[in-house]
Amino acid sequence: MAIFKGAGVAIVTPMYADGKVNYDKLDELLEEQIASGTDAIIICGTTGESSTLTHGEHLKTIKFAVDQVHGRIPVIAGTGSNSTETAIMMSTEAASYGADALLLVSPYYNKATQKGLIGHYTAVAQAVPQTPIILYNVPSRTGCNITPETTAALFRDVPNIVGLKAASGNISQIAKTMALTDGRLELYSGNDDQVVPILSLGGLGVISVLSNIAPGQTHEMVVSYLEGDTGKALRLQLEAIELIEALFCEVNPIPVKTALNILGKEVGPLRMPLCEMEPANKARLEAAMRSYGLPVA
């Protein structure tokens, strides 16, 4: 049984003006996402500023989400690290809280070999044998690409490695990955502008930045495709392209957190070294939001 099908939100981590995590606001965001039809919560991923959370904040935020969602939809915890030991610690803790699955980014900065990646992922997975794991391939951030052959070997040899968040942007690589896994890998788009193409390769959904500000539309895009209305799914994909481009005109999550604040969600500031958007890019984002029909003043 798949971890989820549809649109999972890579949810932001809201903060107070002083930079502390705002759990009251996070509770509001979680409830809004569930009410809007979002199919899964991905907590403490890239969009959640996991790289600047302390280990204590990271784990507290995962536990908070698991407890507040309380089984209504799956909660997938980002517990990857460039240190295998740290990834094991984070993963075992998140599993103990009841996270439905783990999202493990490939080790960043180290630039591990494919042999090293297999050793890393196998060690983490064996520490949490009852918890499903989604590999997260985003070489533009990590400097390390998980090849189709490596993904297939891990999927074949490690029982609880079941899925892939594909954010390489390389559709040919994603197609080869699905061919090598006989189409049985649980595939999720990691790029909002490639949801429909990846669904066409056997994908089950998206782990989405866009869902932070357009949860209903993103859910509908995926569900329409999975229910056979590919024309509607394509229309929704193309209608969102301008907004998606604006959401990535500066490094994620700068634009999406800015967009939520524009919408009055009061999710607070970013943690350094992330900073406020350039004025021209913020104006572009506001224009794209208006064009998409979002309530921008």
Q: Rounded to an integer, what is the distance from CA 242 to the centroid of its chain? A: 20
**CA atoms of 88 and 54, how far apart (whole Å):** 16
Amino acid at 196: V
One-character DSSP codes across 228-272: T-HHHHHHHHHHTHHHHHHHTSSSTTHHHHHHHHHTT-----PPT
Question: Residue length, the chain?
Answer: 297
Helix (H, G, I), strand (E, B) or coil at 124: helix
Please answer whether residues 208 and 192 qualify as being in contact, where contact means their C-beta atoms are separated by less than 8 angstroms.
yes
Q: Produce one character per residue of 216-247: b if its CB has 16 or more CB atoms within 10 Å, e if not.
A: ebbbbbbbbbbeeeeeebbebbeebeebbebb
Catalytic residues: 136, 165
Tell me which residue of 101, 105, 104 sits closest to 130, measured CA to CA.
Answer: 101
The Cα–Cα gap between 275 and 83 comes to: 26
